[in-house]
Amino acid sequence: MARRGAWTPARNNALLANLGRLPTNPSNTSVLMWGNQLLALAEGGPPLILDPGSLDTIGEENFKSGLGLLSFFSAHPKLDAESGELFSIGIEIGLPFKLNVFKFLPTRPSVVAQKCSLALQNLTFLHDFAMTKKHIVILIPPWICPLNALAKTASGGALVKEFEWREELGNRLVVLRRSDLSVVVDQTVRPPFSFYHTINAFDEDESSLKLQVAVYSASRLAVEANFSDMYKSSWSDETRCSMREFRVDLVTGDLVESRGSIAPTGASTFELPSIHPAWVGRENRYVFTNAAFPSSAPFMNCVERLDLRAPPGSQGIDRATFGEACFAGEAMVLPRVRPDGGPQGELDAYIATCVYDSEAHTSFWAILDAANLAAGPLARIKLPTHVPYSFHGTWVPDETYILKQQSDGSS
């Protein structure tokens, strides 16, 4: 999501300050608790290690240099809740350009367990990917930075401002086996479509899988123009997302869209989709979205739960709104332990979202029951100051934070 000075400091009134500098990583897009460390993420470089109490920056996490000298690290790594394995991707700057795919194990979290490098024809921007129980699924859109434009960044330009949409290149679809990161599919698919976020993916059978994506209706240029100053831009259904599902044939490499929308009728356009973390890589029934209702809303102002198996004509949408001039953020799904000790369902969870009240210029956390969003917040937690609207977050169980403090010798 492009902003002024992205990946190179703006350096006001200092024309030559960025001359010859490599692009820097804002580390401002998402966070991850991994290996008992809190990591700040953005796909402009390696993660930054933060102190979970003070949020002071400790340093870069290079995973003992297994990432590579100039390799990025995704803001959307994928964690398998069952196996504990973590996967991530990252563009590597250099000729030839590469897309690296990383596998991490819970038993050795500080090193890269496996790495696969895919050659790229152009420097591209990739924010997200998907994972099934057996596969890694990567869609690379034709949002590229030509070599002649890349040279401008050496003279102080912001890298993100040099990207352009190349329709004729199509989307590149790559599917890897999770077991050894070997290539199953590497195909060009046309026409291309623009997206930032995947929703989920799951294996259908031995020869196919399903991929869910949050796709923009508007051109990538229109979306990027809005993101360049997102708080002053006019947003609409075209510059927000709708849900699309595709079937990937693992034998032929074909990517075929499911007929009709799989989202229930009346679903609002959205961004920042989420699902129950235990269903990442499994067939999910529910998707939670940061949505705009009604569609004329200037920003996303609610949280919706979409039932993908709702019969036609039935009510498949549950929605939480937060009042006039209040704008919700990403819906984080916090699994809840069942009192009866039974198996966890997709709706055995709380939803946490950070809400900005634009009239009071304050923010609060809203905690909702995933099974009944319309009932409104179970709790509102007022924050001492406002929080900038949008971007991603994460959660950790209490005991994780307590263990981190104890390991550091703090109280």
User: So what's the pLDDT on residue 22?
Assistant: 57
How far apart (Å, rounded) are the C-alpha atoms in residues 209 and 203? Answer: 4
CA 115 to each of CA 62, 73, 192, 254: distance values in angstroms, whole numbers, following the listed order: 14, 12, 27, 26
Instruction: Find out whether 76 is annotated in a ligand binding site.
Output: yes
- The pLDDT tens digits of the residues spanning 62-104 come to 998 788 778 889 999 999 999 999 999 999 988 889 999 999 9
* DSSP secondary structure code for residue 226 in this structure: H
- The pLDDT tens digits of the residues spanning 281-291 come to 999 999 999 99
> Is the backbone of residue 168 left (phi > 0), alpha (psi -120 to 50) or beta?
alpha
Q: Calculate what percentage of the chain has a pLDDT beyond 70.
A: 88
Say which range, 23-27, 46-50, 325-329, 359-363, has the weakest mean pLDDT.
Answer: 23-27
The residue ranges of every structural domain in the chain are 273-403
The first and second tokens of residue 82, run together, are 């069952």
User: So what's the pLDDT on residue 2?
Assistant: 41
Per the prediction, the chain carries an average pLDDT of 88
Instruction: Find out whether 276 is annotated in a ligand binding site.
Output: no
Q: What is the three-class DSSP state of 224?
A: helix
Name the pLDDT band for 400 (thresholds 50, 70, 90). low
Query: Which residue, among 125, 129, 120, has the nearest Cα to 141 in the 3D structure?
Result: 125
Side-chain half-sphere exposure of 33, counting CA atoms within 13 A: 17
Tell me if the pTM is above 0.85: yes
Name the pLDDT band for 33 (thresholds 50, 70, 90). very high
Task: Quote the Cα angle for 113-41-155, to 5°.
Answer: 110
Name the pLDDT band for 3 (thresholds 50, 70, 90). very low
How far apart (Å, rounded) are the C-alpha atoms in residues 204 and 129? Answer: 18
How far apart (Å, rounded) are the C-alpha atoms in residues 356 and 326? Answer: 6
Long-range contacts of 252-261 (CB under 8 A, 24+ apart): 253/173, 253/185, 253/186, 253/187, 254/187, 254/189, 255/171, 255/173, 255/187, 255/189, 255/211, 258/210
- The pLDDT tens digits of the residues spanning 243-290 come to 999 999 999 999 999 866 688 989 999 999 999 999 999 999 999 999
- Res 155 pLDDT > 80: no
User: So what's the pLDDT on residue 211?
Assistant: 98
Produce one character per residue of 137-159: b if its CB has 16 or more CB atoms within 10 Å, e if not: bbbbbbbbbeeebbeebeebbbb
Query: Which residue, among 193, 211, 324, 319, has the nearest Cα to 266 in the 3D structure?
Result: 319
To which residue do tokens 């804002």 refer?
Answer: 26
> In sequence order, which residues have a C-beta less than 8 Å from that of residue 77 and are 6 or more positions away?
32, 34, 41, 86, 87, 88
Q: Average the pLDDT over 402-408 and give the result.
A: 53
The first and second tokens of residue 344, run together, are 């966890």
Instruction: Find out whether 386 is annotated in a ligand binding site.
Output: no
- Res 354 pLDDT > 60: yes
Range with the largest mean pLDDT of 3-7, 68-72, 212-216: 212-216
User: So what's the pLDDT on residue 11?
Assistant: 52
Name the pLDDT band for 205 (thresholds 50, 70, 90). very high
User: So what's the pLDDT on residue 70?
Assistant: 82
- Report which of residues 359 and 236 the model is more confident about: 359
- Res 5 pLDDT > 50: no
Query: Which residue, among 250, 257, 283, 276, has the nearest Cα to 133 in the 3D structure?
Result: 283
Instruction: Assess contact for 286 and 273: CB atoms under 8 A.
Output: no
How far apart (Å, rounded) are the C-alpha atoms in residues 46 and 44? Answer: 7
